[in-house]
Amino acid sequence: MFANPLSPSWLVPPDDDAVLPGHVWPANAERTASGAIAIGGVALPQLAAEFGTPLYVIDERDARNRASRTLAAFTAAAAAHGSTAVVYYAGKAFLCTEVVRWMVAEGLNIDVASGGELAVALAAGVEPARLGLHGNNKSLAEIDRAVGVGVGAIVIDSMIEIERVAAAAERHGRVQPVRLRINSGVHAHTHEYLATAREDQKFGIALADAPDAVAVIRAHAGLRFLGLHSHIGSQIFAVEGFLEAAHRLLALHAELRAGGDVPELNLGGGFGIAYVDSDQAPAIEQVADALLAAVASVCGELGIPVPRIAVEPGRTIVGPAGITLYEVGTTKDVIVTLEGVGDADAGNSDGGNIDAGAANDDDDRPSGTAVRRYVSVDGGMSDNARAALYGADYSVALASRASSVEPVLVRVAGKHCESGDIVVRDAYLPGDVQPGDLVAVPATGAYCFSLASNYNYLARPAVVAVRDGAARVIVRGETESDLLSRDVFANSADQTPLP
């Protein structure tokens, strides 16, 4: 079939709607004999019936396997250059106590970015020495708690913070290991990276100011300097940005060795995943090999040993392992004039919703128009803010059945009072998609649950972990009582009358 002219150039109509591209879907996703999608051996219609929709579903084996693969990849790559590696799971991607336990069981440490995330990690029973704390504006209480419980590392983000962490270490009679976050001037986007003298952003200390900051850290008996840290961005496919950052940091790292031990270099997270079929993300082994080869080569030039390498991926570990399941509530065809539409000159006219520029022979739609089908689901920007926040692309599949009906271009919209409330901007679904169908959006394991809100007082969905044919709720869904629980007067008989 031809593409709908409203469709972006990267989106190709599927030859077979039933196929679930392996690089986008969880490792244990498949179509059952009935045509429904199953994940971890559990059919999605069964999950919807038991737990309702919207529903976050996470393939436990896939998430854990990605964690152990990442550790193995960086450990092997570091060993090839005579060094070691430590992998922190970036909890901001998706944190709950069960996921923390999976990560720790697979040998990863945990990176937290607030007192709340620290509380979740501690509630999971993680040994505090395996935790790292980030943040450009950690409160005094957050620093005090982190130092008090004995977190393994605090990533210092400003000169002011050095004194705050040192004071907490003194109060608790501890020597607190710290890293120093550097604003390397390298920022990477998915397909490009930018390298400047200094990036205009809130995180870290400029390269030029770092020697003074490290001298101040070293002057405090209660602080132990571990090394430099940099995080250059998110959803990065090309390794060049990491290589440039590593290059810049290692020059400084070598200089700092003159004043004392610098055992580690932390290159952050940000490795990209495939959200749609056309995305080609490198395997984590490729990323690890390229990074370590570059680090080793620069270290060779500088005449220094390869330090222990730390990384902090979140998205690559949980992102592809999760899907969100929705029920379709309404569908609506919207006629769009093609004037000014990017791919309008694709000029095809084979009926259905793909008429462009030619007379329409099967309805009374004006020529020069095309149809976009809006498929509205029972969630939206409250369970997945990424499309609205960043214009992120996703794909979608019919989850409750298979269909042989020709695909149509759809936009999956949420149920919020915002026109920007889009879950999947452009995708193809079978033309008979209808109310009551279940649809699943893959690659939603990272930054969906963690960015969820109660906008329009929608209850946040449950998270269900699936594995070997069994499903377990690992975070329960919110109820109406949860929604009203913080409203002081909602349940009070003693309501103060308005003046």
Ligand X SMILES: Cc1ncc(COP(=O)(O)O)c(C=O)c1O
Enumerate binding residues for ligand X (CB under 6 A).
90, 92-93, 134, 231, 234, 268-271, 312-315, 446
The DSSP annotation for 450-496 comes to TT---GGGPPPPPEEEEETTEEEEEEPPP-HHHHHTT-TTTT-S-PP
Q: 355: helix, coil or strand? A: coil
Q: Is-catalytic flag, 96?
A: no
- Do the beta carbons of residue 85 and residue 309 sit within 8 Å? yes
Q: How far is the CB of 92 from ligand X (least distance, A)?
A: 6
Sheet holding 42-43, edge to edge: 29-31, 37-39, 42-43
Side-chain half-sphere CA neighbours of 457 within 13 A: 9
> What b/e string do you get for 113-129 counting C-beta neighbours within 10 Å, with b at 16 or more?
bbbebbebbbebebebe
What count of other Cβ atoms lies within 10 Å of the Cβ of residue 329? 14
Q: How far is the CB of 311 from ligand X (least distance, A)?
A: 8
- Do the beta carbons of residue 330 and residue 377 sit within 8 Å? no
- Do the beta carbons of residue 245 and residue 193 sit within 8 Å? no
Q: How far is the CB of 134 from ligand X (least distance, A)?
A: 5
178 CB contacts (<8 Å, ≥6 apart)?
153, 154, 155, 156, 162, 165, 217, 223, 224, 225, 226
Distance CA(307)–CA(221), nearest Å, equals 23
Q: Which is nearer to ligand X, 11 or 207 (CB)?
A: 207
Distance CA(69)–CA(74), nearest Å, equals 9
Q: Which is nearer to ligand X, 326 or 447 (CB)?
A: 447
Q: How far is the CB of 270 from ligand X (least distance, A)?
A: 4
Q: Which is nearer to ligand X, 102 or 428 (CB)?
A: 102
The residues annotated with a catalytic role in the active site are 417
